[in-house]
Structure 1
Amino acid sequence: MGPRGKWGAVALLCCLLWGGVLGPCHVSISPEEPTVEFGSALLLNCTSSCRNYSQLNWEVPVTKLGSSGPGWVSLSIPNVTEWSLELQCFGKFGEQRSITNTTLRVYRLWPPQIDLEEGDLVAGKETRVTCNASARVSPPDPPNVTLTLGGGGVPPSTHQGPWVESSFTVQPEQDGAEVTCRVTLQLRHRTVGTSTTARLRVCTAPHDVQAWAPRDVFTAGENVTVLCRALGNPPPGVCWVLPTNASRQLCPPGGTVTVPAAHRAHAGTYRCLARNRCGVGTATVHLRFQGSPRSPLIPLVVTLAVGTILALLAISWWFQRSRNWKPMLEGSRPG
């Protein structure tokens, strides 16, 4: 390399060491498109391309904090409460002045709201679940929101906009299942999101109702017991309608009714009613009665009755015989 080349290299090296780059000095903001959530803290850096500046600082319309170092100065706002905020960083390089502006994008994304039909979902019925989201961005452009709803056996659904819904037939096994709604907000080169989870409450009407008795034929005087069981969610309560009084219901704990010393009037159809807040289920059992059981006194009573009848017949026969003998004896006497 010749002398002129060496001096050129030295000049270039000095320029790089002193100014940082060839050409006019300038300042830049990092990140280039600052985005922050409303109410949160902001931290930005302003960097100079040259070290020969006499001043490097921020110009903002709010109270600011920050620190500085060789070739940079930071901007810290602990709580952003302005929806429109213009930020300016400037540097003085002798007679030269470099200014960079940027607009702070502020956003607010609220957690989505999941709406179910009022009250419990009823198994076997068609229902709908809806998710709504709210967002605000600045500058005041329409927020780019996408909602996704799914989980818990609910058909997944995605919609571009502030709401999404899904219709489905409720199944008993969905009780307690979680449904999640996720919302994403697109902010130029950044995406933010949040989600909400809801738990399904499925009510199942009473089903598989069973009513039975140890047997269906009883003898008068025996204790009669009828039992009833049913499935459902929540667990159904059980009541009985007895054949002796159809206007009255018995609702025993456990669904078991015992009629002590039942008689023929207790024969008939016993109806079980299983209820919860989603419906009613029924089942019946029919009971019959036969004659009263044999008592040890019955043979004695029968024997006494037969003996009495025979005695009366004997007395009647003797009395009739006596009456017939009397005329015969009178006719045999001599005249």
Structure 2
Amino acid sequence: MLLSLDLYICSRITLPNYIIDHFSWDHTGQNNLTPVMPLSGFKKELLRVLLYLSCCTLHYAVGQDNLLVFEPKVPVVKYGEPLTLVCKTSCTNITLLAWETSLDSNKTTEKNKTTLHIYNVTQFNKAPRCVINCNVNTEPIQQSPKIEIFVYKLSAPVLTMKSKAFAGDNVLITCKVSDSQPSVTLRLKSGNKVHDKKENITSGIIEHTFIASSKHNGMKFTCEAEMKVPGNTITELNSTIFNVFYAPITEVHVHPENISQGDNVTIDCTADSNPPAIYNWTYPLCPNAHIFENSSGIQISKIDSTNNGNYTCRVSNQHGEAICVKEIQLQDEEKGRGGTNVAVIMVVVALVIVVAAILSVAYCKKRT
């Protein structure tokens, strides 16, 4: 209804002329057109122009609403990759619907849509135009809006470092990104730890140095480039696993800690090394002591004093060796009981001597 009235008014200049010649604005504040004294001269001509322009502006705004729809609404594409754009219309009386672009592409048009297939996008700041000529309520309408293509350029960053090192070596890692559009954030990480980062760059490099140790063995280092694009975040990664070779680090543990006669005892030797170490044991040879199948420990069944001595674990690889010694001293029960008896006898003898001395002194005093 509004569109029809608008087209009717704007297509007939005589109606604005009639309004101007016979009516003027009411000054009571009600904003109603009421018959008052007609305008004249310059004011009449000025009002005639303003009224006509407002009608045509309304015609343009209402007549063009929702005529064209783009899919996707915000096209985002990686540099060098293909892209498909669709321009749709709700208008049914179409005389022209087509794409205008200098990009290398293929165009197909159906009843109420036209499709643009761009083979590979290699230009920035390009905006194809969709042109439509359509009749709305017998009035011809033409539109030719552009759609801006957001083109980004991001290659996988380059991570450079030794794939392996020896404990104590100085290690340099470089993380590099180049020729990015728009800007990126560059990060060098190991796990969730960020060692360094640079923001808002199109090209750049991060350098990180450290001294290799056993804690770095098997660590994953990642060079990460992150770019913000409309409605999304694009991330490119480059990672490597770092290997460190080092001599064994070893410890020996005895279970249980407090050993009693007849206990079953385990002596464990743990070693951290790269490559894996070889185990060798030196210990008192007894029938009740056996080395584990993987040589990492000894099992003693019903321990007694014959198992007393030093238990030496020697672990080695091509980068060095480590030695750990554990001493076990368990007192024999019979010997323990014999020693206890001797002590008791000695105490009794000492008491007898003391009592005899006291009695002797008392007797002597009595005679005198």
Q: Could you state the TM-score of these two structures normalised by the residue count of structure 2? A: 0.46
Higher RCO structure (Cα 8 Å, ≥6 apart): 1
More strand as a share of residues = 1
Q: Could you state the TM-score of these two structures normalised by the residue count of structure 1? A: 0.50
More helix as a share of residues = 2
